[in-house]
Amino acid sequence: MPHRHRHIRAVGAAAATTAALLVTGLSGSASAEPPAVSAPTAAETLRTDAAPPALLRAMERDLGLDRRQAERRLANEAEAGATAARLRAALGADFAGAWVRGAESGTLTVATTDAADVAAIEARGVVAQVVRHSLAGLDAAKARIDRAAAARGGDAADAAVRYVDVTTNTVVVQATRPSAARALLDAAGVGAGLVRVEKAAEKPRPLYDLRGGEAYYINNSGRCSIGFPVTKGAQEGFATAGHCGRTGASTTGHNRVAQGSFQGSTFPGRDMAWVAVNSNWRATPYVKGAGGQNVQVTGSTQAPVGASVCRSGSTTGWHCGTVQQHNTSVTYPEGTISGVTRTTVCAEPGDSGGSYISGSQAQGVTSGGSGDCRSGGTTFFQPINPLLQTYGLTLKTTDGGGPEEPPPGEGGTWAAGSVYQPGDTVTYGGATYRCLQGHQAHVGWEPPNVPALWQRA
């Protein structure tokens, strides 16, 4: 019944005495005496050997290490942290900070204000450095600067970053205008001898996550829900329903902070749109699930009729049901939309635009329906793959991916970011493949790697 349909929118462990900062192999000789039972090292206590592979890969990529170096670095840092903590307790008011250096964090330095502490520091295999100011003194100076910044409010934004740099034994103030830093120091009553002012190119800003199912507001009035975070080149944003806003409409986030604007919107006919966000917002590969937990998005393979599907929305949260029919047409008062999917999932005003997901596969964005989440109902979603294809968007996923480019000689017509429908054919590695299930291709889903999605023709 067309009149029943509506758009869902609303206005100290034990440790060895010497710091074991360089991880080495262990060897021994035969002995009639049983080996002594030693206390676990800091690395053993903190289980650095259980570091997730994804973390190690990121360290290799971002710190320029190989796998063994990444593993040794984690172990060395665990031992350094324990040793520095024991020395801090031993040195008391003399302690002036500690830091590691080297590709594998193999060298620990501990600073003190008293030269008489050097022998005790070096006895633990640590580099000693004698400095003028204690860590407590530097922290106290920074606290005075922070209080002055709080009193000045937004006027302190030009000297926005402040920290204690133990490696140089100074308080650092980063400022876009050095004069602002000097005014702040004068207000705090902190002498120039304690502080180093650094010129900063940009002011820091808060960063907010985009997550499927979260609320956003259109032109500071109507409320809808984020569908799925996406990217278009370097631009980040999110997919949502077209009836939520017209091209050019502004958006604010769930926290009422300025967010972005609609870059494209189609309704009726289809019910699809996307919003580009400003640099305060960051696209994540997650949907807000039950209890606010993150549900990861790994792709957009279309689920079959009868499959389970769950929806996240800013009014009613997380609800599940089943896919009833694909390629449905429905007439709203504003006109007819086609190509939507009918489901048994309930929804209510404000849930519009929110995420539908099966397992970890994005399915679509909430369009409209009938009923509610007390008595049950029927809802329709705009499938995500046509939306991505229409606007040239790339779904944000948690997939670690494979190589960024096909190995030499294995290129073809297949391309990451393209949306493929059942029956489409591509070439890859000199062979032809036929698409079995609709999806957006991404790195790691090359046709030979995903037989559930591609069949060699």
For this structure, is 209 an active site residue? no
> Beta 431-435 vs 454-456: how paired, if at all?
antiparallel
For the chain, what's the residue count?
457
Tokens representing residue 163 in the block: 């920290």
Residues 283 and 396 sit within 8 Å (Cβ to Cβ): yes
Residues 117 and 91 sit within 8 Å (Cβ to Cβ): yes
Strand partners, 174: 161, 198
What distance in Å separates the CA atoms of residue 98 and residue 116, rounded to the nearest whole number?
A: 17
Edge-to-edge strands of the sheet including 272-277?
Answer: 222-225, 215-218, 250-253, 258-266, 272-277, 235-240, 228-232, 394-395
- What is the crossing angle of helices 178-188 and 135-152, to 10°? 110
Give every CB contact of residue 87 below 8 A, 6+ residues apart in sequence: 95, 98, 110, 120, 121, 124, 126
Q: Which of 94, 158, 271, 351 is catalytic?
A: 271
Q: Which of 261, 352, 358, 370 is catalytic?
A: 352
Helix (H) or strand (E) holding 139: helix 135-152
Helix (H) or strand (E) holding 321: strand 317-332
Nearest CA to 45 out of 24, 17, 74, 67 is that of 74
What distance in Å separates the CA atoms of residue 44 and residue 456, rounded to the nearest whole number?
A: 48
One-letter identity of residue 317 = G
Find how far residue 334's CA is from the centre of its chain: 38
Q: DSSP secondary-structure letter at 202?
A: S
> Beta 376-383 vs 335-343: how paired, if at all?
antiparallel
For this structure, is 5 an active site residue? no
For this structure, is 105 an active site residue? no
**Helix, strand, coil content of the chain in percent (nearest 5):** 25, 35, 40
Nearest CA to 270 out of 388, 417, 151 is that of 388
Q: Which of 5, 243, 319, 439 is catalytic?
A: 243
Tokens representing residue 64 in the block: 């320029």
Say how many CA atoms lie within 13 Å of 2 toward its Cβ: 9
**Which amino acids are annotated catalytic?**
243, 271, 352
